[in-house]
Structure 1
Amino acid sequence: MQSLRDILARIARGETTPAGALAVSQARIAALEPRIQAFASRPDTLQPGEGPLAGVACGVKDIIDTADLPTMMGSPIYAGWRPRADAPIVMALKAAGATVAGKTHTTAFAFLDPAPTFNPHDPAASPGGSSAGSAAAVAAGMIPLAIGTQTGGSVIRPASYCGVAAIKPSYALLPTVGVKPFSWSLDTLGLMAATADDAGLALAAIAGRPELDAPAASLKGLRIGLHLQDYAGAPEPASATALERFRELATDAGAVLVPHDGPAALAEAFHAHGPLQDYEATQALAWEYAHHREALPPKLQAYLDTAQAVTPAQYDEARRRSRRGRDAARAFFAEVDVVATFAAPGEAPDSRDSTGDSRFNRLWTLLGVPCATVPVARGPRGLPTGVQVITGFGRDEQAIAVAKAIENLVARAG
């Protein structure tokens, strides 16, 4: 994989130029794209910008508006569609000096019908979704940075499946204007990179928050709550092994790991995610459903057929349970320094027909809290598996710093 920080360091030392760094990415895309199929569209050339990320090629998920490239949302309904303006996140990316290397493949409207993308570790395995192209492009070393979105687990889960680092920031830290909505109460932008160190650096530059590029945390004396999410079901052996390896590494580094079950209100909030998302999705995709239902892919079509049955009263109750969960989360996160849990049910599914299950990500997306993932182990099929680090709302710096510490421990352990 390409390290964003390494690229910038080589530019600073005069070993390459922003244009030279972009040429490397463009060559790798040209060589690997026929096998990975990470991109829905690409510009003919990559031109460097000006700013702290000059020379960094970035993939942008194809539900995010770009004026210079089509925004097709993984659907023939929007084939060739060209917005008139860049989304604010794309403007922020360019203002930081990064270059859009292309629009990365997404599942249709960021739901569950698979994208054409391949997992770089195993062509028979799923790259996850919905940010499939973003995760695969980084994992294959085509680009050092990619933007995805998460409504359930669409940043953290594909990152885990593809063996890259990712950060889903606190809700609304990055603007979702100009992003095709699925559920406006849940939709959140996120970043994928080779390492948490790279993701933190990029997030700091894009958001204009230098404090997010924090050094790796010291784990000595850090209280880490292990939250197994029993309400979400049992993990597969690969994820259980990854969390156990994390526990061993963190304990050896001096951290204090404690079981951290949480109040019943969190489990209730987990179950509120479904009706909340369902009700909003029927409105976010009302035009497409009314005018192009038969053009929708089968899983999304069936989902929207069923979601029509969610009533305003059920939606209001889901919002109340969500609020109670967010209220309870303040005390939950105050009891420990950081929470650790599974990033995904297990290794990437062994079929590209599936994008996996977001059950270990949904609660945290609903709570709007920052989540980071880094790969820590390999599963029985040899595929990467990550661990998810979560902190209270607005504590993005701490989530990134702890994720950096974990990846350092994994690197030293080999």
Structure 2
Amino acid sequence: MGNKRVLFVDDDEESLSSLRRMLIKMPDQWEFKFADNGESALEILKHKEYDVIVADMRMPKMDGAQLLGEVLHKYPGMVRIILSGHSNQEMIMNSIGPCHLFLAKPCRSEELINTIQRTCALRDLLGNESLQKLIAKLDVIPSVPHIYTKLKTELKSPNSSLRRISQIIATDIGLSTKILQLVNSAFFGLPRHVSTVEQAVNLLGIDIITTLVLSTKIFSIFKTHQQKKFSIEWLNGHNLIVARYAKAIAQAQNCNKKMQEHAFLAGMLHDVGKLILYTIYSEQYDKVIDFAEESELQLHESELKHFKSTHAAIGAYLLGLWGLSNTVVEALAYHHNPENILNLEFSLLTAVHTADALYYELHSNSLRTKISTINYEYIDGLGLLTKVDLWRELCRDISRTGEKNE
């Protein structure tokens, strides 16, 4: 894996000195460089490749958002973090696109170090360097056109409500991920991690959401490329059903409400990597789907042959960069191979893995690839083998009734 290189940029010498002291105990495999302005940072990047850049927001000549915009254009594979103690709403809106994460000053050393280590671990999970660059360059996940239009209509309505807005956003992968990325950044300085769209919408409020959706470029509509196989509408519907299944399974295990909500979110986002892959490789991804069907492979196996990575790892990588919780990212990363995680208890991963497998079992007419199956050995290792029939019936009931509520 080699050394990890991190570039810090801040015009305040005291801040740079503080960062140096903070990082002095880091292992030798970490290499740090410090620059006092954006121009110097770009000059450094001309001569050596770095994994992460951490920039202050407010600097003379070139502020943090402008610098990260340049980095996004010239060095798209880098993880881009803003570290700042002051910023106004306009600066925040400008940095949403080029910035993966926003950390507030003063930042505890543990938080900064953990954030940097986590982002680099996510890069290692993905493995494929060319994919790293393409995915890190993404600043938006496209939305289903009719859902995006429905949201804009609701926001423009004189009778719009937070409840209806959150219900609309929660049914779309792209809208959900971006709203959660934003609300969990240090832009808003919230003391806790927000894990549901409803919470996020209530905290942001109608005015901010309207500004984001109507006045900035952090959302986009999915563009059809006359594809034969991939359907964002099908994928969104699949994710929504898996989300409901996962929540029902968590509820059946007497999990608390928070974990049930996390299960719904993880289920809704579990296949976001497919949408990311199609956004990057539209024509090629249709061929990957064809290859899976012709070779009787599961789709993630076909992806691995063509991209040297899978939609599971790719989705986990981007949403991990965007600051979603570790448990949700873990559920995304391993929902096809849960046995790779050493966990002896029921978890979000258990709920999402089982829900996804049961979807294909119960919707055989909707197959896009070979049927996904429950890993019974993994379930048995958790001591939950006797629960599978109950979970299956719960999911079957949800499908029978066409339940519309979470």
TM-score, scaled to structure 2? 0.30
More helix by share: 2
**Structure with max Cα Rg:** 2
Q: Indicate the structure whose relative CO is greater, using CA pairs within 8 Å and at least 6 residues apart.
A: 1
The answer to which structure has the higher strand fraction is 1
> TM-score, normalization: structure 1?
0.29
